[in-house]
Amino acid sequence: MKIYEEIISAGFGGQGVLLAGTLIAQAAIEQNLKTTWFPSYGAEMRGGTANSTVIISDEEIGSPVAFAPSALIALNRPSLERFLPKMKEKSVIIANSSLIDTKDFESDKRIKFIPISEIADKQVGNIKTANMVAVGALIKHIAAPSLDSVIKALDTAFYAKPKVIPLNIKAVNAGFNYEV
Query: 135-161: per-residue pLDDT in tens?
Result: 999 999 998 999 999 999 999 999 999
Burial 38-63 (b: 16+ CB within 10 A, else e): beebeeeeeeebbbbbbbbbeeebee
**pLDDT given at position 139:** 97
Secondary structure class of 119 (helix, strand, coil): helix
Pairwise CA distance, residues 111 & 74, whole Å: 10
pLDDT level of residue 45 (50, 70, 90 thresholds)? low
For 76-122, what is each residue's pLDDT tens digit? 999 999 999 999 999 999 999 999 999 999 899 999 999 999 999 99
Specify whether the CB–CB gap between 10 and 116 falls below 8 A: no
**pLDDT given at position 13:** 87
